[in-house]
Structure 1
Amino acid sequence: MRASRLRRWCLTVVGAVLAAGSLTGFASAAVPPPAAPPNHTLPANTRFYVAPDSDAAQQAVTDLRGGHPADAVTMAKLASWPEAIWLTDGTPAQVHQQVRTVMTGARAQHAVPVLVAYDIPLRDCGQYSSGGAASDAAYQQWIAAFAKAIGNARAVVILEPDALANLPQDCGATSDPTGALTAGRIADIHAAVTDLEAQPGTSVYLDGGNSGWQSVGTMAQTLIDADVQQSQGFFLNVSNTQPTDQSDEYGTWVSKCIWFATDGPSWAVGNADWCASQYYSPAAPNDGLPGDAVVQTDPSTWHWTDAWFDQNVGTPPAAQLTHFVVDTSRNGQGNWTPAATLYPDNQTWCNAPDRGVGLRPTANTGVPLVDAYLYVKTIGQSDGSCTRGTAGPGDPVYGGTTDPAAGAWWPAQALTLADDANPALTFNLPGGLSPSR
């Protein structure tokens, strides 16, 4: 295709995608989603909500006006795919209105929104994404207003990323000496599950961390304590880069461990800590932890964990296993594995370079326990001003420049994630706009 023709096509596509209301128009071409089943499981043909004013959509306009049509098309491709909407602060009245606005937009598209509730007290152990409600009581009022705003419509709620994999007791040796803060955290999640699951079309997923973090038994027990069996399930890999197949396998183990410790044989009930972890091998007991000098997460040893579950858990009834969803927003190239001594603290979870967007959002995953692959982390938003344990303030991975604050839009990162997508990023448009037309 000649350059002039390509430029005209770029302008046509970006203009069509980003014209006022156009994304809503494209999405509404789909048939309305089926009614919510009693167990809140997402139908395989679920269509997720695409926000017409996303960061990527606005960046496409900026790039187009700035004379960068190729970048504009890339951002328009990204903007055509559904991403989660994060609700992170505000009063109960404010979050109620924010959720209602999203629900109105989703209704116009005949689509299901993915909402992230992210306002838990003592959020992120006071690190890059610190904040949250001022107290447990304030949070419970906030989440009740959140739930009420959803009403009878369909919605997916990703409930408080990092809230369970990173409990107050995990923040440091003296972070929760009496256990009161952790007890408050669990109570907050209990209250949230009760309020949200009371809505007939809401599918609630609790924090399950990721496959490179808490051991299988630890995560299963925390989820049990937090009432996961009263929710639709748990979520994995939010804002992380663990490969999808590894997340699927880890999540299956956690699900089986939840069954083992609650509905399994009598000798197993109450003993989630007996489950083999992803760090298990004949040479290392199942209490290995990430970063341990001897035991590291190594998928090549996972057959030992599979063997333990085959021998001790077998094949539980499918209807009794807990489902989960996986964030694939930036795991297209898998984990970033720098040399162990590259920096004092590699912070592999923080703005990992060259990762790429992963599998497209869908509720038709082909994996029995995986309800959906979703773009939960907003693609192109920073994790924080990472320093990799250096004196800073710059990030040595990015040439010593200072990364944007957590949650800030980072156009260069968004473009890299889109360019490195695996599979390659395409438009999510019915009828197909292609360069050959």
Structure 2
Amino acid sequence: MRRLIVLGTLLVALALAAWPAGADPLNPANPLQDGRPWQWSAITTRANPELLNHRAETDPARKAQLARIALTPRVRWFANCGSCNVDRVRQSVASYVADARRNHPDGVAQLAIFGLWPDGEVVNGRRPAMSWSMTRYQAWIRQIALGIGDARAIIVLEPDLAISANHGADGRTMPDPSPGTRMRMAAWAARYLATTLRNETLYLDAGSADWLYVDEAVRLLRASGVQYARGFALGATHYDSVAANVAFAAKVSQALGRVGISGKRAIIDTADNGTPFTWAQWNARWGDRFRSTGNEYYQFDNTPTCGSPTEQVCQTIGHRPSRTPLDAEAAKLGLGTDHPTLRRQARVYVDGYLWFGRGWRWMQQGGNDSRSPGRMVRMAAYTRFR
């Protein structure tokens, strides 16, 4: 009997270590593994400063480093603002979708929809109340859906939705004054996009392993319409490790299942956590310097880039976008064969890794900045990943 148990354990271990090409038997419905092409953006406008920086560079060594970001498939953010014209976003989205499908009619467009903070996330040292009406937000979302049309699309819905959980010290000092409104808006958007689009895969923001507690993430996701989505997105504006977010994804998915919302999966951002660190680690190294100087160079959203392969609590690009959570570089993510539980959690609860963070941009914001090319070069130069 003992021999049979050992043999059974060995067979299970072998099954978890490798599987045939194609769908993973532990996550057979993974939509990222549909085989459709992911392409880097060839748009040459201010909306794609990464490519503009790459093309403008004349130094071969710097150009090669810039290429590691500019020529990697990434998520394009579409954000509203107080002065934005709702009617303009449809054409902007349609142009990007056409770019994502160039030469490949079945190509995948990767979008982040960021519409809950039209006035910015901090105004005069406070979180601003939601200034858009539900009617205007709905009109904006409808125009985005028209721009996507029948294209295959992966959508990260409302990065930084986790702010509305009002968690921790930040939630006490700068609480969101309109959390219910924002969550209702996100829930409407999730339902509308899921029922209107035919080829979308939708993930709602759920913060990061070093941000929300599991119960907070579950309350946030339930109120924001996760039942209409494939699952949730982790790490959009944080830099915590992939391994920590894998464990967090498993806990959140299991907790959602206990309240009747089962089968939710995660995607994890790996654009800027090649040298991972938590908010607490940032605070220990850079917090006092930022607070004493007020210099945005040290601010969390703008954590300095690494200056060597061994420096810690600094930014580098991470694992390239991937349709599977385990590959030849899994050990660098803390998901090596010596971590069987994490490996199994990754296969069950994580669809893959996408680049929806933008740590090389000044303050992670849109547009270009004179300091962004240097940040791009340094983040690429000292990464541990291919």
Q: What corresponds to 1:86 in structure 2?
A: 77
CA distance in 1, matches of 2:379, 2:130: 28
Q: Is the 8 A contact 2:191 2:225 kept in 1?
A: no
Q: What corresponds to 2:350 in structure 1?
A: 370
Partner amino acid, structure 2, of 1:222: L
Q: Is there any run of 5+ residues in structure 1 with no aligned partner, and where? A: 1-38, 264-319, 385-404, 425-437
Give the alignment partner of residue 99 of structure 2, picking from 105, 109, 133.
105
Task: Give runs of aligned pairs for residues 240-255 of structure 1, distance below 5 A.
Answer: 240-255=238-253
Q: Is the 8 A contact 1:333 1:420 kept in 2?
A: no
The count of corresponding residues between Structure 1 and Structure 2 is 304
- Larger helix fraction of residues: 2
CA distance in 2, matches of 1:70, 1:55: 19
SS in 1 for 2:95: helix
CA distance in 2, matches of 1:333, 1:149: 36
Q: What corresponds to 2:319 in structure 1?
A: 359
Task: Give runs of aligned pairs for residues 133-152 of structure 1, distance below 5 A.
Answer: 134-152=132-150
Deviations 1:21-68 (A, max 9, x none): xxxxxxxxxxxxxxxxxx78322534223111332221122221xxx1
Task: Give runs of aligned pairs for residues 3-402 of structure 1, distance below 5 A.
Answer: 41-43=31-33, 45-52=35-42, 53=44, 54-64=48-58, 68-89=59-80, 90-110=84-104, 111-121=107-117, 123-126=120-123, 134-163=132-161, 165-167=162-164, 173=172, 181-198=178-195, 199-262=197-260, 320-335=262-277, 337=281, 340=284, 343-344=287-288, 345=291, 347-354=299-306, 355-366=315-326, 367-383=347-363
Partner amino acid, structure 2, of 1:118: F
Partner amino acid, structure 2, of 1:189: A
Partner amino acid, structure 2, of 1:375: W
Q: Is the 8 A contact 1:329 1:358 kept in 2?
A: yes
Q: Is the 8 A contact 1:119 1:131 kept in 2?
A: no
Q: Is the 8 A contact 1:49 1:106 kept in 2?
A: yes
How many Å apart are 1:218 and its aligned residue? 0.9
Deviations 1:158-200 (A, max 9, x none): 111112x1117567559779x7x22211210111112211211
Flag the 1:142–1:370 CA change in 2: closer, same or farther, 3 A. same
Partner amino acid, structure 2, of 1:215: Y
CA distance in 1, matches of 2:269, 2:185: 23
TM-score, scaled to structure 2: 0.71
CA distance in 2, matches of 1:418, 1:362: 18
How many Å apart are 1:97 and its aligned residue? 0.6
Q: What corresponds to 2:382 in structure 1?
A: 420
How many Å apart are 1:340 and its aligned residue? 2.6
Taking every aligned residue pair, what percent have the same amino acid on both sides?
A: 22
Flag the 1:70–1:380 CA change in 2: closer, same or farther, 3 A. same
CA distance in 2, matches of 1:123, 1:40: 34
Flag the 1:128–1:75 CA change in 2: closer, same or farther, 3 A. farther
CA distance in 1, matches of 2:246, 2:282: 24
How many Å apart are 1:342 and its aligned residue? 5.5
CA distance in 2, matches of 1:334, 1:151: 37
SS in 2 for 1:368: helix
Q: Is the 8 A contact 2:114 2:157 kept in 1?
A: yes
SS in 1 for 2:163: coil
Q: Is the 8 A contact 1:351 1:382 kept in 2?
A: no
How many Å apart are 1:135 and its aligned residue? 2.8
Flag the 1:62–1:175 CA change in 2: closer, same or farther, 3 A. closer
How many Å apart are 1:348 and its aligned residue? 3.9
Flag the 1:357–1:159 CA change in 2: closer, same or farther, 3 A. same
How many Å apart are 1:368 and its aligned residue? 2.5
CA distance in 2, matches of 1:47, 1:190: 29
Q: What's the Cα RMSD here?
A: 2.9
CA distance in 1, matches of 2:153, 2:366: 26
Q: Is the 8 A contact 1:236 1:325 kept in 2?
A: yes
Deviations 1:121-173 (A, max 9, x none): 4652447998986333211210111112211111011111112x111756755
Partner amino acid, structure 1, of 2:249: G
Flag the 1:105–1:407 CA change in 2: closer, same or farther, 3 A. closer
CA distance in 1, matches of 2:130, 2:362: 18
Partner amino acid, structure 2, of 1:88: A
Q: Is there any run of 5+ residues in structure 2 with no aligned partner, and where? A: 1-28, 292-297, 307-314, 327-346
